[in-house]
Chains A and B, each alone.
Chain A
Amino acid sequence: MTEPILELRHISKRFDMTQALDDVSLAIYPGEIHALVGENGAGKSTLIKIATGVHQPDTGEILVQGRPVVIHNSQEAQALGIAAIYQEPMIFPDLNVAENIFISHRSRGPIVRWNKMYQDAREILAKLGVVMDVRQSAQGLTVAQQQTVEIARAISLDVRVLIMDEPTSALSLHEVQQLFKLVRSLRDRGIAVLFIGHRLEEVFDIADRITVLRDGKLISSRPRSEATVEQVIRDMVGREVEEFFAKSSVRLGELVMSVRGLTKHNVFTDVNFDLHRGEVLGFAGLVGSHRTDVALALFGIEPADAGEIVIDGKSVHIRSPQQAMELGIAYVTEDRRKFGLVMPMPICANITLPTLPKYVNGLGLIQRQKEMEVAEEFRRRLNIMTPSVMNTVERLSGGNQQKVLLCKWLNVQPKVLILDEPTRGIDVGAKVEVHHMINDLAAQGIGIILISSDLPEVLAMSDRILVMHEGRQMGIYTREEATQEKIMAAAMGHPEAILERQA
């Protein structure tokens, strides 16, 4: 057996509270396409960043051709022959193709020899079997062409390990096939390819070896010939279920929201669901499933292009967040810092922001006392750890910030509450409290849409689960029929895989 070109031994990496990687060992051989799969947050990206020198491992070592190395940054990784291509190609739109290919070259002399550069660029593209005008500006290139330019850039640097992070997510079927042809030709020339993907079909199409990560641990690594779709899915989802407060059965009330054929061009298509009072409807899916975009359409931030939304029996066109709020919809964002809370402002001011007009007296002045009372009430109810509601939000822990965000939207007294990743990045204690609260709210008759990438959470908390894959709705599963395997198979665009096995 040949020597691995890149070997990671016992790599661990911790970010604050999360163990991103836990004792992961991985060997990549020349002339092999090695696929890496896993749920969101399984540690794939961290692994790539460690291999390319963006992050340093806490423990463990990296070997290149059997020699231990320390990689401080991506330039050093490049010098060792390791390069990465990401979902969004790193292309300079104002430069032409040849300039983009040679952008990282430092040793071509102080003066640009244009003719030599164009000639070299043409040679590299010819080697890859690609037809492209090297003088063309990168501006007009498609994503697929931009990726080709990136691959050419890597080749020009004499790369031996090419890491591709979900390169197919923005490509059409035909472009994917072109890309795979290219990747196979690289493999045949002895380059090692580490391919991160979440379309199982593609992974099984291209990979020679499939490795599954889950919660920062390496679960399995098998040659493709020995792997099956069901096995891989089971490895991906077999998570330990944490202390869950499972959804208590609530008798479903009347219909509160009904969505038919909701579509936003190039984002999501034909989303259909009903939501009842007291129901928790889970939204499952992986990165790029556009679950959040559906929520943004319902909340009027990015209105949908087509389809019907019926609330309390009335057909509505939601065009702005103000309108959505008037209709009784609240959206708790997944990104607290960017969209959720004003970090340098007091807790109470954040809680009252959407409903501020209610706290204004006849003279147009804000009644601070009333604001404080409401915030104080919420602080007690949700057990927010702070000496005073006048403290700024930025001084709270992530879990407490999340609670403030929830208070802000509960104070609106919504009929439909959309929770987008409400427990991401908060500690277990706060998580359990949030789960309790979701239950309470459902019991009060609020219809809840729970978007979560945490499969056990979705399964435990939801009455029904809607699964999306790349903007398409793959199905709605009731609590009884849903299993981790089924949901994951649907989220990977393969709803049949598990069903067939059971049939």
Chain B
Amino acid sequence: MQSSRLASLRRMQFLRSWEAILFFVFLAILLYNATRVPAYLTVGNQINVFYLYAEKIIVALIMTFIIINGEIDLSVASVMGLCAGVLGRLLEMGVRGEYAIAAALVTGLLCGLWNGLWIAYARLSSLIVTLAGMIMFRGLVWVMVEDRSITNFPAWINHLGQDAILGPFPLSLIIFFVLLIFAYIVLHHSAFGRYVYVIGNNREVARFSGVKVQQIKLILFATSGLISALAGVLYAARLGAMRSSTAEGFELEIITMVLLGGVNIFGGSGSLIGVLLSILTVLNLRNGMSLANITLQQQTGVIGALLIFSVLVPNLAGRVRAELNRRRFARLAAEQTAPAERKEVKAESK
């Protein structure tokens, strides 16, 4: 009996959660688009919706971990650019593709370790460390590539980046879905994921409980570097080209998707389900707007408004609830203290 009450309680909580709101917004957008555009709900169109954003949503997965942990990584897009640059330059120099890709991934890992060491062990603010990283890594791309465009990729790399390799799915989407499942299990079902939440909620409690806080932060940022490198390679392969400005500004879109998914910017709460729903919502919204001939610039405005909305709604709801609680308590307290007799204790003072 108790478990059924609990289940219904949890259902109620879900209905009031941001995830639920997102789910209905997503459904509404999907239906609206489907009625206006005939071929909207076809597999082909849906894959296309995802394909154009595959790299960003891959990075959004690790960004979810980092923000829940109470940190942020602004350097992801620059790492993507840098790793695409390493790949491009090495290919230009005639290095074999496999080695060039490996070198690009190692570069990303090193970038992540660099950020992570400062953040975990020197306890510097991740906002500042990764802002510096964002500028520095982008600077390195410019030094390496200058204002050229590198396009002479081997055919197999272009093929992997651009063609469907498993049924209708391109490699980048397969990677996304595999990583999504893996990330979900790690974040929501492993000890590591539990530690990520605990540290994000209260770093001191984690430390006092013997959690290796610094080690976990280092792992997160190193992984962020590695995943960003992977995304950079996929992006370059999809475009079949790279330039110094490759992936510039992506970090904000990535962070937007994570926050829109209900992840608390101060850490401690959020879920990958929310982030997945946010990804679905944003991609379908953008796709729908594109089909309705709304320009990219105007789309950006709509996404911005949605982000404010995502912070505002839970916030307002919370404040209303707190105010109601406060009033109830005040009433209860007044009722309790009124009849209670005042103790008259004489002080022994002379």
B-contacting residues of A (Cβ < 8 Å)? Answer: 22-25, 59, 217-222, 299, 301, 320-322, 324-325, 331, 333, 338-345, 349, 353-354, 356-357, 359-360, 364-366, 387-388, 390, 408
Q: Are B268 and A344 in contact (CB under 8 A)?
A: yes
Residues 203 to 257 of chain B near chain A (Cβ within 8 Å):
204-212
Inter-chain contacts of B297 with A (CB < 8 A): none
Q: Are B345 and A354 in contact (CB under 8 A)?
A: no
Known A342-B201, A356-B194, A360-B190: A331·B348 in contact at CB below 8 Å: no
Q: Are B194 and A301 in contact (CB under 8 A)?
A: no
Bound complex: CA A322 to CA B209 (Å): 8
Q: Are A345 and B208 in contact (CB under 8 A)?
A: no
Q: Are A221 and B207 in contact (CB under 8 A)?
A: no
Which one of B208, B344, B349 lies within 8 Å of A301 (CB-CB)?
B208
Number of A-B residue pairs at CB separation under 8 A: 90
Inter-chain contacts of B342 with A (CB < 8 A): 59
B186 nearest in chain A by CB position: A364
Bound complex: CA A356 to CA B192 (Å): 10
Q: Are A353 and B190 in contact (CB under 8 A)?
A: no
Known A221-B349, A338-B204, A339-B205: A321·B191 in contact at CB below 8 Å: no
Bound complex: CA A338 to CA B208 (Å): 10
Bound complex: CA A320 to CA B190 (Å): 24
Known A344-B269, A357-B191: A388·B208 in contact at CB below 8 Å: no
Q: Are A353 and B211 in contact (CB under 8 A)?
A: yes
B31 to chain A, nearest CB (A): 35
Known A221-B349, A322-B212: A345·B191 in contact at CB below 8 Å: no
Inter-chain contacts of A333 with B (CB < 8 A): 208
Which one of B191, B202, B349, B350 lies within 8 Å of A342 (CB-CB)?
B202
Inter-chain contacts of A354 with B (CB < 8 A): 209-210
Secondary structure at the A interface, as helix, strand, loop or mixed, is mixed
Inter-chain contacts of B192 with A (CB < 8 A): 364
Inter-chain contacts of A338 with B (CB < 8 A): 202, 204-205
Known A22-B345, A344-B201, A345-B201: A388·B191 in contact at CB below 8 Å: no
Inter-chain contacts of B207 with A (CB < 8 A): 301, 321
Known A218-B347, A218-B349, A220-B348: A342·B210 in contact at CB below 8 Å: no
Query: At the interface, yes or no: B59 with Cβ under 8 Å from chain A?
Result: no
Q: Are B348 and A321 in contact (CB under 8 A)?
A: no
B198 nearest in chain A by CB position: A342
Bound complex: CA A350 to CA B336 (Å): 33
A-contacting residues of B (Cβ < 8 Å)? Answer: 2, 6, 185, 189-192, 194-195, 197-198, 201-202, 204-212, 268-269, 342-345, 347-350
B39 to chain A, nearest CB (A): 41
Q: Are B208 and A366 in contact (CB under 8 A)?
A: no
B197 nearest in chain A by CB position: A345
Bound complex: CA A233 to CA B342 (Å): 29
A23-B344, A333-B208, A365-B185 provided; 17 other pairs, C-beta below 8 A? A23-B345, A24-B347, A25-B349, A218-B349, A220-B348, A299-B208, A320-B210, A322-B210, A344-B268, A345-B201, A349-B194, A353-B194, A353-B198, A353-B209, A354-B210, A364-B191, A366-B194
B329 to chain A, nearest CB (A): 11
B32 to chain A, nearest CB (A): 36
Most buried by B among A222, A359, A388: A388
Bound complex: CA A220 to CA B194 (Å): 54
11 A-B contact pairs sorted by A residue (CB < 8 Å):
A23-B344, A25-B347, A218-B349, A301-B208, A343-B201, A353-B198, A353-B205, A365-B185, A366-B191, A387-B2, A388-B6
Inter-chain contacts of B211 with A (CB < 8 A): 353
A231 to chain B, nearest CB (A): 12
Most buried by B among A220, A339, A342: A342
Bound complex: CA A356 to CA B198 (Å): 12
Q: Are A341 and B194 in contact (CB under 8 A)?
A: no
Bound complex: CA A388 to CA B1 (Å): 13
B264 nearest in chain A by CB position: A344
Bound complex: CA A353 to CA B208 (Å): 10
Q: Are B190 and A364 in contact (CB under 8 A)?
A: yes
Inter-chain contacts of B202 with A (CB < 8 A): 338, 342-343
Q: Are B349 and A388 in contact (CB under 8 A)?
A: no
Q: Are A366 and B189 in contact (CB under 8 A)?
A: yes
Inter-chain contacts of A219 with B (CB < 8 A): 347-349
Inter-chain contacts of B198 with A (CB < 8 A): 342, 345, 349, 353
A141 to chain B, nearest CB (A): 27
Q: Are B210 and A221 in contact (CB under 8 A)?
A: no
A139 to chain B, nearest CB (A): 22
Which one of A22, A301, A349 lies within 8 Å of B343 (CB-CB)?
A22
Bound complex: CA A22 to CA B2 (Å): 45
A391 to chain B, nearest CB (A): 10
B204 nearest in chain A by CB position: A339
Which one of B191, B210, B269, B347 lies within 8 Å of A360 (CB-CB)?
B191
Bound complex: CA A462 to CA B191 (Å): 38
B343 nearest in chain A by CB position: A22
A323 nearest in chain B by CB position: B210
Q: Are A321 and B210 in contact (CB under 8 A)?
A: yes
Q: Are B197 and A321 in contact (CB under 8 A)?
A: no
Inter-chain contacts of A365 with B (CB < 8 A): 185, 189-190
Inter-chain contacts of B208 with A (CB < 8 A): 299, 301, 321, 331, 333, 339-340
Bound complex: CA A320 to CA B185 (Å): 30
Bound complex: CA A8 to CA B189 (Å): 59
Bound complex: CA A359 to CA B194 (Å): 12
Bound complex: CA A343 to CA B268 (Å): 11
A396 to chain B, nearest CB (A): 16
B290 to chain A, nearest CB (A): 39
Known A340-B208, A344-B268, A344-B269: A23·B347 in contact at CB below 8 Å: yes
